[in-house]
A and B are shown apart, each in its own frame.
Chain A
Amino acid sequence: MEVVNSPDTRIRATEYLSSIWGSRYFWFSLVRMDLRSRYRRSVLGIGWSLLQPLAMTCVLCFVFSTLFGVDVKSYGAYLLIGLSFWQFVTNCILQGCRAFQSAESYIRQQPQPMLIYPLRVVLASGFHFLLSLGISVLLVWTLIGFGNLPALPMILPILLLVFALGLSLAMIASVANVYFPDTQHLAEVGLSIVFYMTPVIYTKELLSQRKLDWLVDINPLANALELLRSPILFGELPNLWRLGVASGTIGIVCLFACALFFSRQRMLIFKL
């Protein structure tokens, strides 16, 4: 098979995808190692990653129920989904910033499709996200009941959207951090601002009472979160309008990420 290396070679999307598939054993073992090495020396093992959202949920539930008299039953699961999702997003962005730097020695040795490094980050944090999402479903079942069963399969295409969003964010973060080493620091600041603009610990209704619905509509993170919550918490299919807005905003992020990533990836090694 002839491989041409020249400034004006255009790789077709199908070729790129098949080269990612071709190196699957390698990046899969990277993901596995990420998961394994994190728990190698801890007694709690996999529980560690769940500890953070669970503990936060307990604390916030306690505070909100005593101060504002919120119903713990529904709020607990609401919060857990929100916090797990937020942790997933944070991980994608902050660990995404280090995606190329931490893999530099592999990049300098063996040419691999560059996308596998942000992909590795998203898969590892996605694993934890799925675990805590599973716990949320169990929580809903024990506290509220199995009313959501018919709507649950809907969660699969929604998860696909969430995954696309996470990967896009990681792609943007990884490239940005190669060019601007202070990206990670700025991202931390930005994330804590967006956190309060997203209905993670408060409900969307609080915003609509103040005519701030548009804050949710333009925010791809809030959209994705709304989509996730409806089948798990309320056992209903997300309405078409929300689905459309969510796909639209996430699509924009995706397009931007791809444009940035694929215009830069060839020359990235010179900046490492």
Chain B
Amino acid sequence: MAYIRLENASLTFRMQRLGGTALKDYVVKQLFRRSKNPPIEVRALQNINLNIDAGTRLGVVGHNGAGKSTFLKLLAGVYPVTSGRVVVNGRISSLFDINVGFEMESNGWENIEFRGLLQGETPKSIRAKAAEIAEFSELGDFLNGPIRHYSAGMLVRLAFSVATAVEPEILLVDESLSAGDLAFQSKAKKRIHQLCDKAELVVLVSHDLAAIQSLCNRAIWLDHGQLRMQGDPDEVVEAYHEFQTKKAAGQNEVEKLNGAKSGHEATQQLAIVRSSAPARGDASTDTSTFSCRKRYAA
């Protein structure tokens, strides 16, 4: 039986502000001991404990940047955990980022085969599915031409058709419920529902709260990388919804207050930042803003 266990799973990104460090910069840095490009730590997921058993259709809600997609990629094995453990039992099929990673010079059929192989099919099994995939994509003769000539919508159709031609044990879905034009969208929705029925275990990330309520039998709410709530989808969605509306109302109040009080200060602050930024370079902008704010707050 398929299952997923997370024990104190955390994921911390250490990002460089300006891409990577050139080797020559690195040498200079080692010599002078002063970093102009300090790494930023982002705690994308913190101490998540969760058991997902077979038969679960788990919905994941949360605001943008709460760690939903990271959570999914962690389950898929794309990201390693930085502490804790993730144990996955079962073959994973994932539906995220399905629109990238095509070979632009190759034609549709070749891409179907190639994407199938990426998903773990054998040449034999993907050839058996190719006709069905082509039919579902409704691309017809276009499949014989290089996908360089495809429109964005056509590419999405092809991507969706290949990505969903799987027999999933564990299915991870991220926001891919909206694909292509209206007619295709309803078709796609149906296909996702069918897939969810076939899979032993489903994790669905979506901003469409209604979809989560109708598809899932359990839900979690992620907030700033932390597991804020778990339980019945209706309850979780309701709590999340309530929180969102409250937050929106609160934000309005704050904006009103700010607007009345500090119009003058804000412009002055901006002027200072502008005048100091070009001279000191990119990295120092943040600190100067910060010190300005402090001064005006005091």
Contacts and interface: CB of A to CB of B under 8 A. Distances in A.
Interface of A: 1-7, 23, 25-26, 29, 33, 37, 40, 105-111, 178-183, 186, 266-267, 269-271
Contacts of A7: 80-83
A4 B106 CA distance: 36
Contacts of B142: none
Given A179-B20, A181-B20, 12 more contacts: A3-B89, A6-B81, A7-B81, A26-B120, A29-B114, A33-B110, A108-B78, A108-B97, A109-B100, A181-B22, A266-B80, A267-B80
A6 B22 contact: no
Task: Please provide the 10 A-B residue pairs with the shortest distance between their CB atoms, ordered closest to farther.
Answer: A105-B101, A111-B77, A180-B23, A105-B100, A6-B85, A5-B86, A182-B22, A26-B117, A25-B117, A181-B20
Of the four ranges (under 10, 10 to 19, 20 to 34, 35 or more), the interface on chain B belongs to 35 or more
Given A267-B80, A269-B78, A2 B20 contact: no
A178 B20 contact: yes
A179 B27 CA distance: 13
B80 A3 contact: no
Contacts of B89: 1-3
15 contacts: A1-B89, A2-B87, A3-B77, A5-B86, A5-B88, A6-B86, A29-B113, A33-B106, A105-B101, A110-B76, A110-B119, A111-B77, A180-B21, A269-B80, A271-B20
B118 A109 contact: yes
B123 A6 contact: no
Contacts of B20: 178-181, 271
B78 A37 contact: no
A72 to B, nearest CB: 40
Contacts of B119: 110
B105 interface: yes
A111 B119 CA distance: 10
Interface in B54-112: 73-74, 76-89, 94, 96-98, 100-101, 103, 105-106, 110
B122 interface: yes
A105 B123 CA distance: 21
Given A2-B87, A5-B86, A109 B23 contact: no
B243 interface: no
B294 interface: no
B24 interface: yes
B26 interface: yes
Contacts of B88: 2-3, 5
A110 B101 CA distance: 11
B14 interface: yes
A105 B111 CA distance: 14
A180 B96 CA distance: 29
Contacts of B97: 105, 108-109
Contacts of A106: 101, 118
A248 to B, nearest CB: 28
A238 B78 CA distance: 46
B47 to A, nearest CB: 14
A29 B120 CA distance: 12
Nearest to B121: A25
Given A37-B106, A182-B24, A270 B117 contact: no
B152 to A, nearest CB: 16
Contact of A5 (B77, B110, B113, B121): B77
A48 to B, nearest CB: 16
A25 B82 CA distance: 31
Nearest to A107: B78
A107 B24 CA distance: 28
B101 A25 contact: no
B140 interface: no
A3 B78 contact: no
Contacts of A186: 23
A70 B117 CA distance: 52
A105 B100 CA distance: 6
B278 interface: no
Contacts of B22: 180-182
Contacts of B94: 109-110
